[in-house]
């Protein structure tokens, strides 16, 4: 079994992020869990995070990790958390709600109900997930952060949104400076922080998130399958991550039917079909960033024993 080159020999100075990306249903959570277990067994204090909006981490671990960082039994160095949507929105309102209200109410006659309105906007949960990962990253509490990201479309959209958000905040500050006198006349007598300071803090936060994603210690692992959709999706995700400045360290091909699985006609045909797509993936990615193969397993992966088996195959 080919090892996951680029993961097991990394130099661990400060927290390192291993972000598992790919379309839904390709086994990202399983691969992320197995990788987290590998580094925890190596003595690295490891946190496994899932920000998938349809999470399966608690089911795979067979431990309820929803909403809180939870130690995993018998693994001293391993903890996990599955970001729960309702809890994410609650934490977002606690952290950013007042600031959003202060900025918006400096322009518009709105009440605090605007906080709930903005909190319900599409993408707020994913946006907070980035802020949450950043807080853990900057805390230095963990040697390794293994991040099971949202399916590819959501992850890429969020990264692009973060980049646009950062650029637009600078324009927002310039706009506020232009209309500041008029705004101050309209809001005269209301005690509040200077919106410019709040916008500047958001801009700094966005910059820190972008720096974290582009840091050389952050590695993206694209999980895919040997089928047409998987090949096309991998090409798109790989190009967009690289264009954005993230380092892709491995393409991991999951659910591969190997020749020793079965000799029936069904599996022979499936193996033949997959072989064609594997050849395409090898041609494109075997040299750089490198390819890893994970075979189709006879049973579902649930519980730490099954995760340990996958970890042995990967490493």
DSSP-based three-state secondary structure for 3: coil
pLDDT band at 164; cut points 50, 70, 90: low
pLDDT band at 4; cut points 50, 70, 90: very low
pLDDT band at 6; cut points 50, 70, 90: very low
Rounded mean pLDDT, 253-264: 83
**What does the alpha-carbon distance between residue 172 and residue 146 come to, in Å, rounded to a whole number?**
34
Class of domain 16-89+121-314: alpha beta
Pairing of strands 247-256, 291-295: parallel
Q: Which residues fall within 8 angstroms of residue 211, CB to CB, at 6 or more apart? A: none
Query: Cα 211 from chain centroid?
Result: 15
Out of 20-34, 179-193, 207-221, least confident range? 179-193
Q: Measuring CA to CA, how many Å separate 138 from each of 14, 17, 30, 118?
A: 9, 11, 26, 27
Instruction: Name residue, tokens 């609650």.
Output: 90
Q: Minimal CA–CA distance to 79: which of 143, 127, 8, 166? A: 143
**What does the alpha-carbon distance between residue 296 and residue 25 come to, in Å, rounded to a whole number?**
13
Which pLDDT value is given to residue 219?
92
Which pLDDT value is given to residue 218?
93
pTM of the model: 0.83
Q: What is the pLDDT of residues 68-85, one digit of tens each?
A: 999 998 888 999 999 877
- The mean of the pLDDT values for the chain is 81
DSSP-based three-state secondary structure for 2: coil
Long-range Cβ contacts of 236-242 (<8 Å, 24+ apart): 236/152, 237/21, 237/22, 237/152, 237/156, 238/285, 240/156, 241/21, 241/156, 241/159
**What does the alpha-carbon distance between residue 179 and residue 97 come to, in Å, rounded to a whole number?**
23
Q: Which residues fall within 8 angstroms of residue 304, CB to CB, at 6 or more apart? A: 37, 61, 62, 72, 73, 74, 75
Decide if pLDDT at 7 tops 50.
no
Q: Which is more confident, 183 or 85? A: 85
Q: Enumerate the domain spans of the chain.
A: 16-89+121-314
């Amino acid at each position: 079994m080919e090892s996951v080159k680029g993961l097991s020999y990394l130099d661990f100075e400060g927290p390192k992020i291993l972000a598992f990306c790919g379309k839904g249903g390709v086994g990202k959570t399983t691969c992320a869990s197995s990788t987290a277990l590998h580094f925890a067994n190596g003595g690295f204090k490891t946190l496994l995070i899932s920000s998938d909006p349809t999470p399966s981490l608690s089911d795979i671990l067979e431990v309820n990790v929803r909403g809180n960082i939870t130690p995993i039994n018998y693994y001293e160095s391993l903890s996990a958390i599955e970001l729960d949507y309702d809890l994410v929105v609650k934490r977002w309102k606690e952290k950013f709600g007042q600031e959003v209200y202060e900025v918006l109410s400096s322009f518009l006659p709105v009440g605090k109900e605007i906080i709930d309105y903005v909190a319900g906007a599409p993408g707020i949960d994913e946006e907070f997930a980035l802020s949450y990962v950043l807080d853990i990253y900057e805390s230095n509490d963990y040697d390794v952060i293994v991040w099971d990201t949202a399916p590819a479309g959501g992850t890429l959209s969020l990264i692009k949104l973060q980049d646009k958000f950062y650029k637009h905040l600078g324009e927002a500050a310039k706009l506020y400076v232009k209309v500041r006198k008029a705004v101050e006349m309209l809001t005269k007598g209301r005690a509040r922080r200077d919106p410019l300071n709040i916008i500047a803090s958001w801009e700094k936060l966005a910059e820190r998130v972008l720096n974290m994603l582009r840091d050389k210690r952050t590695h993206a692992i694209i999980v895919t399958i040997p089928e047409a959709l998987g090949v096309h999706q991998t090409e798109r995700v790989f190009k967009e991550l690289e264009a954005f400045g993230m380092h892709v360290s491995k393409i991991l091909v999951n659910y591969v039917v190997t020749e020793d699985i079965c000799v029936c006609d069904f599996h022979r045909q499936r193996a033949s079909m997959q072989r064609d797509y594997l050849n395409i993936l090898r041609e494109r990615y075997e040299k750089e960033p490198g390819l890893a193969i994970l075979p189709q397993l006879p049973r579902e992966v649930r519980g730490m024993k099954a995760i340990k088996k996958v970890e042995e195959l990967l490493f």
